[in-house]
Amino acid sequence: MARTNNVTELIITGLFQDPQVQRVYFAVFLPVYLATVVGNGLIVLTVSVSKSLRSPMYFFLSHLSLVEISYSSTVVPKFLTDLLSKMKTISLEGCVAQIFFFHLFGVAEIFLLTAMAYDRCVAICKPLRYTTVMSRLVCQRLLAASWLGGIIHSMVEILITVRLPFCGPNVIDHYFCDLHPLFKLACTDTSVEGIVVMANSGLIALCSFLLLVSSYVVILVSLRSCSAEGRRKALSTCASHVTVVTLFFGPAIFLYMRPPSTFTEDKLVAVFYTVVTPMLNPIIYTLRNAEVKVALNRLWGKKVNSGVE
């Protein structure tokens, strides 16, 4: 790390201080995390084995579910362990690694959601050219661009962080490692770094959100010439994606499109998008998508029948 670094281990304040409250929330958050892994894992498995889910929309959905598992797993297992620990610590290297992967998966998800909006826009506005425009190669390039964007974004954040000197104190005011709480521990002025982070993280979220909104404006305009039944089907197809986008981008823009402040409310917002939202996504897509529900029923029907045999 930095040459004047005297800190090798960080103490995490956590979300709750009362041991009894921590145990209660461990009992609450553990099932939520398990539901996240199982629910998103089922979507990945269903899309990979189902012949009826071969469209670009489900290609992106399966990779979104993989990202959700990875994104949640970067934070939640450590958070659950800390809820049962008297002393919550993490090495400085481990903290930096957590920041890297947290931002990598977060930005990859942002770009995947944007690619999914583009897919819906082409499917609804250019249905006759859909298979040509959204070819397998195009989908793979959009997926690769999502991961590359996440990697580049995270590398920028980490290059900013590793240059900072940490000489004490070593108490990080959060329940996981993120940039703004870590910057508070640096024994130097980090106002420039904070502006760079706000520009890097915030503008990615904001620009992607504007692209998403533009896609759905185009969709709504194109639907004016459709029949009532056509509009209903198109809007039903987009509803799940719009819900997921709102749940993800709202907290992200709140946290990264403004200068750092007190972290009491920030930690509560962070719980929502690191713990709760990844669990909700498979529920949202399953409940509102008849094709996914049918494919899940077929998958489980085969497993049950094979088990009986």
pLDDT at 150: 94
- Tokens 């980090």 correspond to 190
Cα separation, 190 vs 215, whole angstroms: 37
Helix (H) or strand (E) holding 289: none
pLDDT at 173: 84
Domains of the chain: 9-304 (1.20.1070.10)
Residues of the chain predicted below pLDDT 70: 1-5, 230, 237, 252-265, 287-288, 300-309
Give the DSSP per-residue string, 155-200. Answer: HHHHHHHHTS---S--EESSSS--HHHHHTTSSS--HHHHHHHIII
Predicted TM-score (pTM) of this structure: 0.87
DSSP at 292: H
Residues with Cβ within 8 Å of residue 254, at least 6 apart in sequence: 269
pLDDT at 72: 94
Q: What angle do CA 84, 35, 42 make, to 5 degrees?
A: 145
CB 21 within 8 A of CB 262: no
pLDDT (tens digit per residue) in 255-307? 666 565 545 567 777 888 888 888 888 888 776 677 777 877 777 665 544 44
- Paired strand residues for 10: 90
% of the chain exceeding 90 in pLDDT: 32
Cα separation, 26 vs 20, whole angstroms: 10
pLDDT (tens digit per residue) in 53-89? 888 988 999 999 999 999 999 999 999 999 998 888 9
Task: Output the six-digit token pair for 181.
Answer: 């709480």
pLDDT at 73: 95
Residues with Cβ within 8 Å of residue 109, at least 6 apart in sequence: 64, 67, 68, 71, 248
